[in-house]
Structure 1
Amino acid sequence: MKKFTYNNKMHKRKYKTSYSIIGVAFLFLYGCNNDDDFTVKEDIVVQNFMWRAMNLWYFWQQDVEDLADNRFNSEKEYQDYLAETSDPDLFYKSLQVEEDRFSFSNEDYTTLVNNLSGVSKSNGLEFGLVRYPSGQNIFGYVRYIIPNSDAAGKDIERGDVFNRVNGVQLTLDNYVSLLFGDNDTYTLGLGTFSNGSVMDTNEEVTLTKFEGLAENPIFIAKTLDVQGTKVAYLMYNGFTNEYDEQLNNAFGEFKANGATELVLDFRYNPGGSVNSSRLLASMVYGTNTNDLYIKQRWNNKIQEQFDPSDLEDYFANTVDDKPLNTLNLSKAYVITSARTASASELLINGLDPYVNMIKVGDTTTGKNEFSITMVDDPDNSYVYRSSREENINPDNSWAIQPLVGRNENSVGFSDYTDGIAPNIYQREDYGNLGVLGEETEPLLARCLEEITGATAKGFTPVIYNKKELTGSEMFTAVKNNMWLDNPPRLK
């Protein structure tokens, strides 16, 4: 009997029913029968999609025994295997290697796609969560408020802390259900620092999440005049390609204002579009389209199926067919934190061979793989493309966002799994956050001291700067992912 195997060459199949197994990157061979028109059972349609997409694209495919091309001896064995795990999310997780911290699934691909565009259901409060010095209790601190959100009209602002939701103290066991559960409306109990601990106050704020909140990632773009030096300051909170043109306009203003120094603030930037990172890198370094920015590396199974030229990204000279504005810098400052991830780290690593990137803050997350949004569209190798919405299996709304490759910089470096360490270490003090974009804000002030050579300001006692537990961005559909906008096509 022949082994039930997969061939990684493209092989189109016809639908038998809406639940037919459709081989796009492989060919089922079982027994003496080469007929591939068999039907997958309705209750394992999602698992079938997940397995096939992962078998082809997953970066660690060769390391997962259950994803091997010769894993199954027959069609029945394959389908029985899929049926063993009825929960699609658990099934998807079972296909991942232990070191994979970032692949995830979503039962509604439209929610995921909207989040990739910066549109979500949110009350507009962006916050971090931190443990108390001892015990299980935690508190939240407000990083910033998204404009035009519910929170923007309430009496809450950056630097406020909260430790209760609907009168209940936040703990390690309950914070997920209280803050990120099905309740769209909740009431936060505010607190205050006292001797390094958070104490209750009588103040409360009620917030409601609404659908369709669009966050412009360009939170602050301004030019500072610091002792006669023009410093461009950009607080950029996500690599969202819908705002690339606005980003280019911001750099046009920096140029018009005569900026000769740049501070990129990525402290709350969880990542996003790889192409947006390339465009921003070009705005920093220059429009040298012969200089390699990054190069993609895929799994062993499909690396050679791509045209090599499709795997290389060079610096850009246009944004949406308009000239790209660049500062042509050889040195730049970047504010980082443990929340700085994926496309933010990619930009730092991609610019490193060309620009002296002076990092100020904390060690970054350490996410050096990119992902692709995948849906049940086998004729397009399961890759989501907006132009093919009508081709997605209407009986399967699930999407997966697997890690599928790594981006190396021009000298071949991509090994920053442990994060990118700062040149100047300074973690945020939750009791003294300062006003974002103001010269006195502690992390920006530290960058300006380096730029101007001014003597550091007097010592301010630290109120609370322990490492965060997590943040609000980790409970969005995209979390801290980095994705390819337009993945290359297989040969």
Structure 2
Amino acid sequence: MVINIVVVLFSTGCKSKNDVVAPVRDSLGKINQWIYDSMGYYYYWSSTMPAQPDYSLAPQLFFTSLQHKDDRFSSITNRADIGGKKSTFSYYGFHYSIVRHSVSGAYIGVVTYAAAETPAYRAGLRRGVYFTAVDDSTLSAESITWANERLSSGKTVGITPATWQNNAWVKEEPVSFASSYIDENPVVLTKYFSHNGVKTGYLFYNHFVEGYDVLLLDAFAKLKQENVQECIIDLRYNPGGSVASCAKMLGMLTTVTENSVFGIFVGNAGWGRQVYNMSRILKTSTSASGATVPELAAHRLNLKRVFILTSRATASAAELLVNNLKPYLPVVQLGDTTMGKDEAGFQVADPRNPRQVEWVLQVIVYKLLNSAGNGSYHTGIVPARLVSELSAFPLAAIGAADDPLIAEALMQIYGSHTIEEGLLRRKKTPVYPVYVSSGADAAGAPVVQIDRPH
């Protein structure tokens, strides 16, 4: 959609403080005029933009001057740098936390997740591996910022693994790894727990990626074949992704029709309210797998509720699933409060040929509501029970019954002390989280992306 650029000439005489400032007419002014017009047309908070912006500012600063105080996720980038900020996971394939150990007082890194066949995985990193140094620099209060920057730099980096032996940290041989392309299968683990004849399905799902929808449907088919009566969806490291894939999961967790409202997208005065039913959302998918409600119904589980595990790294489309399920199925959320991306948007670029502006906007266009009209989770969706995965060391394996989040879900399902006994086998050494890379990665990931209405 073409945004017309209008340049108005003003007199150069004395101006009062209420006079409209004329845009600069040089190349910078034209870029900023395009930014202003585009945001005025699309931006959710367009009504709050200043009437007299400073067109002499550099584009990045000009864009910032137009942003609403509550806007955390809109951005502008030069076309040469398009693609957004890279993260530890996108470079190396692992998440980690830095904690302060209550016994030793030391700052310790712990790998919370390592995707299979990634640089970190090939270097031996697994969930629960501890490390005391990055590039031979010991972790400390003073070095944490530097260490985090190194671990998200994309350069070859080394860490020093360590083990806790006889009340002391024993260093091991350092390992190093370079960055490479990460293409993770987000359907990480599908399994079930069984107790007293009741089966509980479990799915660890790491990203809503349409290219893997066929495997997502296959995971639900396996759970359905096992006739699970309860289900745990683990989204603790899920930063979001495809809204269509989100709708597909919703359609396999609860009963919906093609006309069932998936969500409501509320824009500015020009864009108004966009109601997306299941059929409309599914038509945006680039994957044929699960692209119709009847196909989803064939994989649907027979559930009376669903347990969803979340953390501060649960964001965007993952939060959308939590919120949009609630009108259709009781959701028992366990873990930590989510990131708080209750917004959707799309890229805005100069459509003219030839292009006159090389900058690209990623702006918030909509606020997100479920079919009951509920949303406003910009501070995050709070779980029914707060549970930290760092509350028990060493960390349990992904999908293990004695992982604190899974243990809480199983306790609510079964009321079994067997789960408590399993948890007691892990030493509850208090630690104080200082930095969580998965949360930082999720903060830099895009908000919900939706096709631009025409």
TM over 0.5: yes
Distance verdict in 2 for CA 1:361–1:59, change over 3 Å: same
Instruction: Please say which of residues 467-476 and 322-331 is displaced more in the overlay.
Output: 467-476
Give the Cα separation in 2 of the matches to 1:189 and 1:319.
Answer: 44
Distance verdict in 2 for CA 1:295–1:436, change over 3 Å: same
Q: Tell me, yes or no, if the aligned pair for 1:156 and 1:205 is still in contact at 8 Å.
A: no
- 1:167 pairs, out of 119, 122, 136, with 136
Distance verdict in 2 for CA 1:83–1:137, change over 3 Å: farther
Q: Does 1:407 align with 2:368?
A: yes
- 1:482 pairs, out of 431, 447, 453, with 447
Query: 1:314 — aligned with what?
Result: 278
Q: Tell me, yes or no, if the aligned pair for 1:286 and 1:329 is still in contact at 8 Å.
A: no
- TM-score norm. by structure 1 comes to 0.75
Aligned length: 423
Q: Tell me, yes or no, if the aligned pair for 2:237 and 2:313 is still in contact at 8 Å.
A: yes
Q: Tell me, yes or no, if the aligned pair for 1:193 and 1:199 is still in contact at 8 Å.
A: yes
Q: Tell me, yes or no, if the aligned pair for 2:258 and 2:277 is still in contact at 8 Å.
A: no
Query: 2:395 — aligned with what?
Result: 433
Displacement of 1:221 in angstroms is: 2.0
Give the Cα separation in 1 of the matches to 2:363 and 2:436.
Answer: 21
Distance verdict in 2 for CA 1:176–1:446, change over 3 Å: closer
Q: Does 1:344 align with 2:318?
A: yes
Distance verdict in 2 for CA 1:202–1:467, change over 3 Å: closer
Q: Which amino acid aligns with 1:312?
A: Y
| Pairing 1:325-340 to 2, within 5 Å after superposition | 325-340=299-314
Query: 1:18 — aligned with what?
Result: none
Give the Cα separation in 2 of the matches to 1:332 and 1:428.
Answer: 20
Q: Does 1:457 align with 2:431?
A: no
Query: 1:243 — aligned with what?
Result: 212
Secondary structure, counterpart of 2:182 in structure 1? strand
Once the two structures are superposed, what CA deviation does each residue of 1:103-142 show, in whole Å capped at 9, x if it has no partner? 2344457852998xx9x952222223446779x9854321
Q: Does 1:103 align with 2:51?
A: no
- 1:368 pairs, out of 342, 354, 360, with 342
Q: Tell me, yes or no, if the aligned pair for 1:289 and 1:314 is still in contact at 8 Å.
A: yes
Distance verdict in 2 for CA 1:452–1:485, change over 3 Å: same
Q: Does 1:206 align with 2:176?
A: yes
Give the Cα separation in 2 of the matches to 1:27 and 1:394.
Answer: 14
Q: Which amino acid aligns with 2:432?
A: K
Distance verdict in 2 for CA 1:240–1:114, change over 3 Å: farther
Give the Cα separation in 2 of the matches to 1:437 and 1:237.
Answer: 13
Which portions of structure 1, spanning 4 or more consecutive aligned residues, are displaced by more than 6 angstroms? 315-318
Distance verdict in 2 for CA 1:256–1:292, change over 3 Å: same
Displacement of 1:392 in angstroms is: 8.2
Q: Tell me, yes or no, if the aligned pair for 2:259 and 2:277 is still in contact at 8 Å.
A: no
Secondary structure, counterpart of 1:344 in structure 2? helix
Distance verdict in 2 for CA 1:165–1:327, change over 3 Å: same
Distance verdict in 2 for CA 1:194–1:267, change over 3 Å: farther
Distance verdict in 2 for CA 1:137–1:449, change over 3 Å: closer
Give the Cα separation in 2 of the matches to 1:229 and 1:246.
Answer: 25
Give the Cα separation in 1 of the matches to 2:134 and 2:144.
Answer: 13
Secondary structure, counterpart of 2:189 in structure 1? strand
Once the two structures are superposed, what CA deviation does each residue of 1:163-196 show, in whole Å capped at 9, x if it has no partner? 4211113424413432223x52011122445899
Displacement of 1:408 in angstroms is: 0.7
Distance verdict in 2 for CA 1:43–1:156, change over 3 Å: same
Distance verdict in 2 for CA 1:301–1:410, change over 3 Å: same
- 1:57 pairs, out of 42, 61, 68, with 42
Give the Cα separation in 1 of the matches to 2:156 and 2:375.
Answer: 42
Secondary structure, counterpart of 2:337 in structure 1? coil
Distance verdict in 2 for CA 1:376–1:161, change over 3 Å: farther
Give the Cα separation in 1 of the matches to 2:387 and 2:84.
Answer: 35
Q: State, as a whole percentage, how many aligned pairs show the same letter.
A: 26
Q: Tell me, yes or no, if the aligned pair for 2:345 and 2:450 is still in contact at 8 Å.
A: no
Q: Tell me, yes or no, if the aligned pair for 1:107 and 1:399 is still in contact at 8 Å.
A: yes
Q: Which amino acid aligns with 2:64?
A: K
Displacement of 1:414 in angstroms is: 0.8
| Pairing 1:1-16 to 2, within 5 Å after superposition | none
Displacement of 1:199 in angstroms is: 4.0
Q: Does 1:445 align with 2:430?
A: no
- TM-score norm. by structure 2 comes to 0.81
Name structure 1 gaps, 5 residues minimum.
1-9, 13-22, 33-37, 73-80, 380-390
Give the Cα separation in 2 of the matches to 1:213 and 1:252.
Answer: 27
Displacement of 1:281 in angstroms is: 1.0
- 2:383 pairs, out of 409, 417, 422, with 422
Secondary structure, counterpart of 2:349 in structure 1? coil
Give the Cα separation in 2 of the matches to 1:471 and 1:213.
Answer: 16
Q: Tell me, yes or no, if the aligned pair for 1:222 and 1:234 is still in contact at 8 Å.
A: yes
Distance verdict in 2 for CA 1:432–1:133, change over 3 Å: closer
Once the two structures are superposed, what CA deviation does each residue of 1:408-457 show, in whole Å capped at 9, x if it has no partner? 11221112222222212211126332011222323212212221221351
Q: Tell me, yes or no, if the aligned pair for 2:192 and 2:202 is still in contact at 8 Å.
A: yes
Q: Tell me, yes or no, if the aligned pair for 1:270 and 1:479 is still in contact at 8 Å.
A: no
Once the two structures are superposed, what CA deviation does each residue of 1:457-477 show, in whole Å capped at 9, x if it has no partner? 14555324534534156358x
Once the two structures are superposed, what CA deviation does each residue of 1:261-308 show, in whole Å capped at 9, x if it has no partner? 1100011112222222212111111242232221110122432xxxx6
Name structure 2 gaps, 5 residues minimum.
12-22, 283-288
